[in-house]
Amino acid sequence: MNTTTSKSKEFEEHYSATLSDYVTALAWSPQGKTLAATTAAGEVVLWNDGELTTLQTGNGKSVDCLAFSSDGKFLAVGGQDGQVKIWQDTELIATLENAPAWVDKLAWSHTGNQLAFSLGRYVQVWNADTREIVVTLNFDNSSVLGIDWRRDGQYLAIGGYKGVKIWHSQNWDEEPYVLNMSTVSVAMAWSPDGKFLASGNMDRSVTVLEWNNPDPWVMRGFPGKIRQLAWSEATTQVGAPLLASSSVEGIVVWEKLEDDSLGWEARVLTNHVDVITAIAFAPKSFLLASAAADGWLCIWNEANQVSQIITGVSAGFSSLAWHPQGKLLAAGGEKGELFIWSKA
């Protein structure tokens, strides 16, 4: 096990602060000027050029998810109190009341100001331009565990018990495409190129659907349920992105082989000694970051070798987010630490 940090530091500390509780979520605005963070105490803060602005102080009710709209104009958060709050710059422009439902998943369309968010077994889509709910989608089988829009805005995927349902955003009334499974889809994500949809599952498997191909690949052999998935924007020689999946303290990176019948080849990345809480590829590259409850943030060069281990939290790391240009990396800690590192 490699526990030494590399001699040449790729990332150096740029900023640090401490919020009042566990950092639940982080997101950069698409232009990269602003970082938003939320906590288990209910705080919502914005970091901008070294300055921290509080949009909402802690009220004791966890805020669990946040996202910027594709144009960066709107910030949405959701949490334990059932409220979805939307800010434009620093002005609160809408509060959608959904109690007693707990809103723990939300996502903006990449092509317009449509916000999808979970309400138990349902997902609602709200339009920020008209300030109206566009549609309520019934997932039916269970609580919603994942929401992701395809990059072209055409399809909205929703995951949970028995698989993933995919709705066409131009025709919400049409029956969704169903990726059936006998298990629970815990984590789910479209690849940036829109060609693949991956699902990390409770039965220790990963399912990859190639769009317009009815036969998904299923990969097995993990130590536990799949908690996180991350696709690379960069693609390999065969034109496919890499897929990283994490289970307990291990990461498996999947690379598509040229021969479809052989599917995807796995390589296992081991270094963490406790549960991995977040993984993400840097934009347009194969540089992978992983954060874990062991208090280590690992930088994996080419999604292969650990090139740097970053520490500094008093307990574990809880979340991470790459700057849209990849020059900054932000992470949150279990004890409220907020760090931003810059590329050396």
Walking along the chain (344 residues) 10 residues at a time, the average pLDDT comes out as 52 97 98 97 97 96 98 97 96 95 97 97 97 97 97 98 98 97 97 98 97 93 94 97 97 96 94 97 98 98 97 97 97 98 94
Predicted TM-score (pTM) of the model is 0.95
Contact by Cβ (8 Å): 217, 264:
yes
Token pair listed for 251: 């990461």
What is the C-alpha to C-alpha distance for residues 84 and 103, in angstroms, rounded to an integer?
7
- The backbone torsions φ and ψ at residue 260, rounded to the nearest 5 degrees and listed phi first, read -55, -35
Beta strands across the sheet bearing 264-269: 228-235, 241-247, 250-256, 264-269
Asked if 235 and 241 count as a contact pair (C-beta separation under 8 A), the reply is yes
Give the residues across from 73 on adjacent strands. Answer: none
Structure tokens at 27: 């997101």
Give the pLDDT of residue 8.
Answer: 59
Q: From the DSSP assignment, how many helices (H) and strands (E) are in the chain?
A: 0, 30
pLDDT the model gives residue 221: 83
Q: Which residues lie below 8 Å from residue 69, measured CB to CB, with a gap of 6+?
A: 75, 76, 108, 113, 115, 128
Could you tell me which of 158, 136, 137, 155 has the C-alpha nearest to residue 147? 158
pLDDT attached to residue 3: 40
Residues 6 or more apart whose CB falls under 8 angstroms from that of 228 comprise 187, 200, 244, 245, 246, 276, 277, 278, 279
What pLDDT is recorded for position 1? Answer: 35
Query: Cβ distance 2 to 43 under 8 Å?
Result: no
